[in-house]
Amino acid sequence: MTDMKKLRIGILGSFTLNGIDEMFKEICLDKNIDCETYTCGYNQYNQDILNKDSSYYKFKPELTFLVLDVRHILGDLFFDSYKITSFERSEFIEKKVDDVFKLLKTIVTNSDSKIVLSNFQYPTYSPYGINDGKKELGLKEIIENINIKIRDRIKKEKSIFIFDFNGFVTKYGEVNVFNFQQYFSGDIKISIRYTKEFVNELMQFVVAHLGITKKCIVLDLDNTLWGGIIGEDGFESIKLGDEPIGRSFVEFQKRLLALSNRGIILAINSRNNFEDAIRVIREHPNMILKENDFSCVKINWKNKALNLREISKELNIGLDSIVFFDDDPINRELVKKEMPEVSVIDLPSDSSEFANKLTRMIEFEIWNMTSEDIQKKKMYGEQKQRIEYEEKIDDYDEFLRNMDIQIEIKEADDFTIPRISQLTLKTNQFNVTTRRYQEKEIFSFSQDKNSVIQCAKVKDKFGDNGITGVYIVKKEEKEWIIDTFLLSCRIIGRGVEDALLSEIIKRAKKEGVKKVKGVFIPTKKNKPAEKFFEEFGFKKENEYWVFDTEQTIKSADHIKIIKNE
């Protein structure tokens, strides 16, 4: 068993793509990704895209980066745009947008690749000099219009995304990224010195594509969320908000809150007196993050690694889903040694760099932000209530009966497909096959009359968990084969898995199918699903687990099923 991901990347561009393919392989390998690349010949991107028998299409990339240079797109207009009328410049903009969009749509038509197009850099140079902003459609406004119009065109395109190349150049500086000596010697538009930084920026799309996004940030408190040590300096003397050092911690907290609001879980792991530390969170006027922003709080004198294991268990997430922030290098080394799965961030000694360190991380990127992501903080708050309620009741069956669990079974459509794909990419623990599917593949399944693809929206007395279950079934004449069956870790163990499998079997029986078959493909992480088929009543036949639809079908009487038919 191995968790090494495989990925095929196509790299197309209008200039010399120096060393980008090798840098991709190197960085991917560091992230346990086996990456194969295809790079087009010098300025051969048009030929590769327009010829459906090209080597590019034969390579079958899963992810394509199309990097076009603004000088190449504008041609002579880069230097003499003032020689044509503003009307002609406007026509030029529309033509260039059409040309680029047609190329993108050709890739969509001829491949299953997701496409990432770089936008165009606004140069510091303009033939108009300081009058550029005064002219109707000056050079920078031409580029701005092209960028805006392309961005608007692709908003509804599920397979096409924009990489902010202009932002990349702004971050590192045009005088650094663009080296005239390398440009004149080999049409190199991205300095060799900045190739690694460029590929690191593109890696955010790799993270999103493979679903290797981190789910949780675990934070120390003293000298991490505020300056100073609460147990020594006291409530009034910690640095938080009123001076340069204090303002740096406020900025860090604001960026953490922004991540929390888009679905990243926050937790605390602090060696401290609980009452001292929690008072800061509850009462300090400059504290941005409040108690309810944290889905798990461990403020005690335990070993930090032990606390991390308890956080992982309580949140029901893998250690490899956690990012750990702690100013203390000894604690960081302890966690690195005892749990290498955790991403440990080496914080700089200067707290003014904390926010920048967080902002530059690519580990939190996803293709589509669903309603479940945005509501995640609320959902984990409700999960706390469920756990507390469960601890009050000795009889687990009574607990389940009192939960008022409802499952709404929904078809794959434009609203649910992004979440279905996201779950196949990210769910590891209760996932019988761990097959990963992009949105385009899910859409294809949904159009196939020989496939059943549905998802489950689960709610109970404490709140709505959102879409947290998915199954994909391949229909054959006398048997159905379960291709995918998964549940989010938040709802495992409450009978939802049995209720969904029962629905599959009942539907198969109603359609005259004699056997429902499934296979368990083991990974390092999906142990919780290992006995699922067997405990439901499936019998092993060669590599399959098989259920005869004439058998008694296990039921989950405490769950109400709602079907959208």
Whose tokens are 């989950």? That residue is 556
Say how many C-beta atoms besides its own lie within 10 A of residue 436's C-beta.
17
pLDDT of the residue at 338: 93
**What residue ranges in 140-215 does DSSP mark as E strands?**
160-163
Residue type, 41: G
Per-residue pLDDT, averaged over 368-375, amounts to 76
Per-residue pLDDT, averaged over 259-276, amounts to 93
pLDDT of the residue at 289: 96
Whose tokens are 């294991």? That residue is 309
Per-residue pLDDT, averaged over 198-220, amounts to 93
Residues 111 and 61: beta-carbon distance below 8 Å: yes
Burial of 497 (0-12, 13-18, 19+ CB in 10 A): buried
Tell me the C-alpha distance between 454 and 480, whole Å.
Answer: 15
Residues 144 and 175: beta-carbon distance below 8 Å: no
Helices and strands counted in the chain (H then E): 24, 19
Whose tokens are 């924009």? That residue is 162
3-state secondary structure 409-428: EEECCCCCHHHHHHHHHHCC
Of 18, 71, 10, 65, which Cα lies nearest the Cα of 190? 18
pLDDT of the residue at 461: 87
What is the DSSP code (8-state) at residue 122? -
Whose tokens are 């308890």? That residue is 310
Label residue 2 by pLDDT band (50, 70, 90): very low
Say how many C-beta atoms besides its own lie within 10 A of residue 402's C-beta.
15
Question: Strand 479-487 relative to strand 515-518: parallel, antiparallel, unpaired?
Answer: parallel
Label residue 497 by pLDDT band (50, 70, 90): very high
Most distant CA pair in the chain: distance in Å? 83
Of residues 471 and 563, which shows the higher confidence score?
471
Whose tokens are 């495992």? That residue is 492
Label residue 63 by pLDDT band (50, 70, 90): very high
pLDDT of the residue at 3: 66
pLDDT of the residue at 18: 78
* Distance, first Cα to last Cα, the chain: 40
Residues 266 and 381: beta-carbon distance below 8 Å: no
Residue 345: partners with Cβ closer than 8 Å, 6 or more residues away: 323, 324, 325, 332, 357, 361
pLDDT in tens, 546-562: 999 999 998 888 999 99
In whole numbers, what is the pLDDT of the chain averaged over residues? 91
pTM of the model: 0.79
Residues 367 and 422: beta-carbon distance below 8 Å: yes
Tell me the C-alpha distance between 544 and 273, whole Å.
Answer: 54
Q: Is the pLDDT of residue 372 over 60?
A: yes
Q: Is the pLDDT of residue 1 over 60?
A: no
Q: 180-184, 313-317, 391-395, 523-527: which range is least confident on average?
A: 391-395
pLDDT of the residue at 430: 93
pLDDT in tens, 27-61: 999 989 999 999 999 999 999 999 999 999 999 99
Per-residue pLDDT, averaged over 292-315, amounts to 92
CA-atom Rg of the chain in angstroms = 27
Tell me the C-alpha distance between 11 and 25, whole Å.
Answer: 12
Tell me the C-alpha distance between 563 and 565, whole Å.
Answer: 6
Residues above pLDDT 70, as percent of the chain: 99
Of residues 438 and 375, which shows the higher confidence score?
438
Q: Is the pLDDT of residue 408 over 50?
A: yes
pLDDT of the residue at 519: 95
Label residue 565 by pLDDT band (50, 70, 90): low
Residues 458 and 468: beta-carbon distance below 8 Å: yes
